[in-house]
Amino acid sequence: MNLDSLNQEIIACRKCPRLVAWREEVAQTKRKAYADEEYWGKPVSGFGDPQAKILVVGLAPGAHGSNRTGRQFTGDASGNFLYPALYRAGFANQPNAESRADGLRLMGLYITSAARCVPPNNKPTTEELNNCQPYLERELEILKPKVIVCLGRIAFERILKIYNLRGADYKFAHSATFDIQPLNIKSSPLNLNPATLICSYHPSQQNTSTKKLTVEMFDAIWQKVKELAGL
């Protein structure tokens, strides 16, 4: 399976009744500022360079960001913090991300998420994350990334689950870095390659407005990613 066919499967997914109902309700009621826009209201697939060796994993679409625009981290405060950083690091051709038609291109990098539908209160359940996990597994198999960037604890824990890693040696912390490979890699049903995992606080408005995550801290992550990827 290639990324195009996988993404079409993701967009058509209706595995989680709660998320289907919520994403469609948000798309119908809309936010007043976007009342004249047609919301995406479907699962949000991955986005970026199909030859990427860097995979960025976020949490889930934003209600009036990706659930409105249909593209990862597009049209909300998190994207307004993420894409300028990617532009400064040379991973994006422009710093703004407003719509799927804005001309944004990513170089050497692909962005996805642990959950593909917007969850109420931004909190997917374990069952919902489990339902989405096969999509992330297949992205890992197709892309075979050299570096995996986890934006937030939930993305980090999901990658550990996929690679069957656990224990005190793997603790989420901003800028924490781990060399990872699937346990029992020869007998694993997944065709996963070893990779380097690096953690970052999620660029949510809550984290950036409180300075838990600053521009300088975030830029340092992407410089470290370039070094890990040999760029």
Domain that holds residue 99: 3-228
Domain count, the chain: 1
pLDDT, one tens digit per residue, over 97-124 is 999 999 999 999 999 999 999 999 999 9
pLDDT of 56-102, one tens digit each? 999 999 999 999 999 999 999 999 999 999 999 999 999 999 999 99
User: Residue 55 belongs to a domain with what CATH number?
Assistant: 3.40.470.10
For 113-156, write each residue's pLDDT tens digit: 999 999 999 999 999 999 999 999 999 999 999 999 999 999 99
How does pLDDT run across 167-216, given as a tens digit for each residue? Answer: 788 999 999 999 998 765 555 678 888 899 999 999 999 999 999 999 99
- The structure's pTM equals 0.94
Secondary structure of the chain in HEC code, one letter for each residue: CCHHHHHHHHHCCCCCHHHHHHHHHHHHHCCHHHCCCCCCCCCCCCEECCCCCEEEEECCCCCCCHHHHCCCCCCCHHHHHHHHHHHHHCCECCCCCCCCCCCCCECCEEEEECCCCCCHHHCCCHHHHHHHHHHHHHHHHHHCCCEEEEECHHHHHHHHHHCCCCCCCCCCCCCCEEEECCCCCCCCCCCCCCEEEEEECCCCHHHHHCCCCCHHHHHHHHHHHHHHCCC
